[in-house]
Structure 1
């Protein structure tokens, strides 16, 4: 294990990952020395062997589930992996091409992501296999829309938008499509696809102690590559709405040579690709913004695929890939079944998503309905006293927020102080003023003050005692005793509130 990474070793991590995938998928065959995974039906002997154009793709590891997760009927016939962020050697690629291409009259189509190392090594393997009699063609895919000019570059980089090609062309050849049809579809899908990404920082390679690159606090790298290559610009971090707005603006900017020319009325499929380290909740917020902002542009999202489609280890960022569905057949090919384990069903399907939906009356009790135990203050003096108490608590408690969170973090979820402050933020103290002015009378509250002092003293003593108590309920009861060094956050919170009350 390297540092905090759950890896057996940096040298063996790719091999063990492939072994695990094959162990979990009996339809796969591993060529271990070459790091090639082949669909079992493609290497069977005799009439049971699957034929038809075979798709092959791959590249450096670290982008899981790509490529091995997309092996299966309806997508790839074989995948080939290099070491982390390293193109596989030509000999390994040739092994994959031979495994699915030997004695296959329909041939092999290699789909290569546009990176120099991959183009060289895959290209060498293609030439060797052709010389050995294997029918093979190669398509180099680029879908990156970060660069505004292509002069002096190697062209558009291959990013997660190329997954649309793997799925559409994979379904096409599964239905008997020819090599010529497959190559033409690759070209047309690529032209109709654009991808833009952002990240808050780089990923950490296996065995390394620091990320490949850092981004200044409060900033995001816009248009970075899948390995962390520099992007087009640095933009301020912000809400999902602000970040997605900046991304779509760059994706469609008029002066960019790689822009995606979206038009009102377009129907699109969208990949929202988690680069590795975003939570599901963050991904949900981002996906919602992508759908809504495209809708604002007059573009209808008919399919959306959120998730870790093509990652970059533990990078904290995401890509958005948009495919203009210019060919009516593409949607059916996207929806066609596949045995590839990593390809998931879309979250949005064709149907009536416009307008309001009439929900039947379920006779549910509103959560804000007054409780039978509600107590109404009728004396002006009582209202004034309550107002002063609440003002004291509101003024006093914010300074303790982080300390309470730290206490809670030892045995809970670290939000005791913040949760309490959220409740205080909901108090509208000004609403009490009219009640004070409307009522008359006054009363000595000295007895109440004495009671509060006694309560505060008891609460303080109780909070201090919790440092030596063994928890018997709640989340703390699951935490080892030696981990519990501080007071109970809830008990300390109560003591602080009562202290604030008795001082006013």
Structure 2
């Protein structure tokens, strides 16, 4: 049963929410063709030689992140669908709109979720390739995790808003990108957040995201409704705050924040969306009183709906250690409406119809890279490899979905098939290909753009990162050793941004096994023999994931007892690799 929501349509709810925001704050503009909100005076900031700031993520956390755009805070924010990371194309469009080659640069602030790291990371790499100066800080201050075992990492929560304020103040002061990044990285390590929920949230057009009995509450859940660390009976506000502070400062947990008598902190009491103002004030009182009773000086306190989880009834508490720099940054002026001051256009005192900042894809149209070309027969072989690989992924949709039901939402096969169909739609014929098959470097980049847009999600970002990095190794030569370097380079890039390593039960297990084997065999055997050995290694690695504990991606939050089959991502790698081998053998 779907929940009650005051919306017009599920599909347009994010777009209409952004439009409503800029109606109220006409100093903000929506970037044409994208779910991106930008300061209307951002070009003045760039011309003044100041660093610009970008953040974003899935919608449903309002006022985060577009509500924090303004002087002294963000320059732009990118919104994805509800609880879904935005696509790299929109992130890159945002970066192009707030900086330019030769400018002071942009800092991207990202919450530590796999999809956000991948999509924002991919856009950052693309921006760097265009000559833009870009850096990224990943915020993960969740204090809920109790185990020291590797997982996808500490989730990024309401503490991200502190990063907006700190970095924004430094940027307004004219500090360089490197200094802002360093201060933000240090501050992120001295911060912690814990949340508690009384009711689940419900997505537009859907029912509750999980179930809680009327007398229950859950400690340590994520802002998308991810499972917490424990459920208890509902208790008083005083007991709730005590439980939260005890857990987030417990030295026995791997994610606690160090807090001792004499420390000075800023405290953020955040409404997760459905808690009354009366309750929030009670929680704020309890949090400050209890911290000061522990000998901790709460020098700055903030209370309100800062980073929500739609309509979830609950609260989170964030603690940030203070020093002179952080204190100065928190006290600096900002016009960001979520603090909350409506932002008016520069030099104007009345609200006008919100403007739309023009954005034309023609300005950044793909150009030939000048990379090395291959003969017609090699191009035909690449065409056949792509065609057969995509057909095999489409045929394996149901099988991969079945494997994915153990560790995810059962759509891995559908996601990969969607990307494969997108590639086949533009592949064309051998005599008239829709992809630059004669220029392998350009081909890899073209495939990267197709999968990130048609496949979407973490899988699309991973494969796009893989292909983008692989293209760098195919610029000047395309011999067997170059293809191996391309594979290894792609593997290293997705490990860097995705956070997974061999043994973490992901597609990386198969890819790295294949890359390692090819690196060992390519100089001593024929390309066919080397690839045969690589495929065997990939298949062996994929099957081995059935006995692994997941330590990255969505599966890392699933109980190990439920994971008995091979990882679908690892298995899918073997399908397209076998298709490549089949074509190579036939040559």
TM-score tier, shorter chain, comes to 0.5 to 0.7
Match for residue 332 of structure 2 among 297, 322, 336: 336
Runs of 4+ with >6 A deviation: none
Mapping for residues 258-269 of structure 1, pairs under 5 Å: 258-269=255-266
Deviation, 1:40, is: 1.3
1:293 aligns with 2:290: yes
Task: Please state whether the residue corresponding to 2:41 is helix, strand or coil.
Answer: helix
Structure 2 vs 1, CA of residues 104 and 85 (structure 1 numbering), >3 Å: closer, same or farther?
farther
Task: Please state whether the residue corresponding to 1:276 is helix, strand or coil.
Answer: coil
Structure 2 vs 1, CA of residues 22 and 233 (structure 1 numbering), >3 Å: closer, same or farther?
same
Deviation, 1:233, is: 1.2
Q: Structure 2 unaligned runs (5+)?
A: 342-587
Mapping for residues 294-313 of structure 1, pairs under 5 Å: 294-313=291-310
How high is the TM-score relative to the length of structure 2? 0.57
The aligned counterpart of 1:8 is 8
Q: Distance in 2 between matches of 1:21 and 1:10?
A: 18
Write the deviation string for residues 67-111 of structure 1: whole angstroms up to 9, x where unpaired: 100001101011000010010000000000111122452101101
The aligned counterpart of 1:250 is 247
Q: Distance in 1 between matches of 2:194 and 2:82?
A: 23
Q: Distance in 2 between matches of 1:69 and 1:239?
A: 32
8 Å Cα contact 1:72-1:339 kept in structure 2: yes
Deviation, 1:343, is: 1.7
8 Å Cα contact 2:195-2:315 kept in structure 1: yes
8 Å Cα contact 1:305-1:344 kept in structure 2: no
Q: Distance in 2 between matches of 1:50 and 1:65?
A: 28
1:176 aligns with 2:174: yes
Match for residue 96 of structure 1 among 94, 108, 111: 94
Q: Which structure has more helix as a fraction of its residues? A: 2
8 Å Cα contact 2:112-2:154 kept in structure 1: yes
Match for residue 282 of structure 1 among 275, 279, 285: 279
8 Å Cα contact 1:203-1:211 kept in structure 2: yes
Match for residue 157 of structure 1 among 155, 158, 161: 155
Write the deviation string for residues 161-212 of structure 1: whole angstroms up to 9, x where unpaired: 121111011101110111111111111111110000000121110111x210
Q: Distance in 1 between matches of 2:39 and 2:148?
A: 37
Write the deviation string for residues 291-337 of structure 1: whole angstroms up to 9, x where unpaired: 11001111111111110000000001110000111x21211110100
Q: Distance in 2 between matches of 1:184 and 1:165?
A: 12
8 Å Cα contact 1:267-1:302 kept in structure 2: yes
Structure 2 vs 1, CA of residues 92 and 157 (structure 1 numbering), >3 Å: closer, same or farther?
same
Deviation, 1:43, is: 3.4
8 Å Cα contact 2:145-2:255 kept in structure 1: yes
Q: Distance in 2 between matches of 1:241 and 1:77?
A: 39
Task: Please state whether the residue corresponding to 2:269 is helix, strand or coil.
Answer: strand
Q: Distance in 2 between matches of 1:33 and 1:50?
A: 27
Q: Distance in 1 between matches of 2:193 and 2:277?
A: 21
The aligned counterpart of 1:167 is 165
1:121 aligns with 2:119: yes
Mapping for residues 19-34 of structure 1, pairs under 5 Å: 19-34=19-34
The aligned counterpart of 2:526 is none
Q: Distance in 2 between matches of 1:152 and 1:179?
A: 31
Structure 2 vs 1, CA of residues 135 and 48 (structure 1 numbering), >3 Å: closer, same or farther?
closer
Q: Distance in 1 between matches of 2:39 and 2:231?
A: 42
8 Å Cα contact 2:191-2:320 kept in structure 1: yes
8 Å Cα contact 1:80-1:96 kept in structure 2: yes
Write the deviation string for residues 95-133 of structure 1: whole angstroms up to 9, x where unpaired: 001111224521011011000011111111111111111
Mapping for residues 407-446 of structure 1, pairs under 5 Å: none
Deviation, 1:50, is: 4.7
Mapping for residues 88-487 of structure 1, pairs under 5 Å: 88-103=86-101, 105-208=103-206, 210-325=207-322, 327-344=323-340
The structure number with the bigger radius of gyration is 1
Structure 2 vs 1, CA of residues 342 and 101 (structure 1 numbering), >3 Å: closer, same or farther?
same
Q: Distance in 2 between matches of 1:50 and 1:226?
A: 36
How high is the TM-score relative to the length of structure 1? 0.66
8 Å Cα contact 2:46-2:98 kept in structure 1: no
Structure 2 vs 1, CA of residues 301 and 115 (structure 1 numbering), >3 Å: closer, same or farther?
same
Q: Distance in 2 between matches of 1:41 and 1:294?
A: 41
1:78 aligns with 2:76: yes
Structure 2 vs 1, CA of residues 150 and 101 (structure 1 numbering), >3 Å: closer, same or farther?
farther
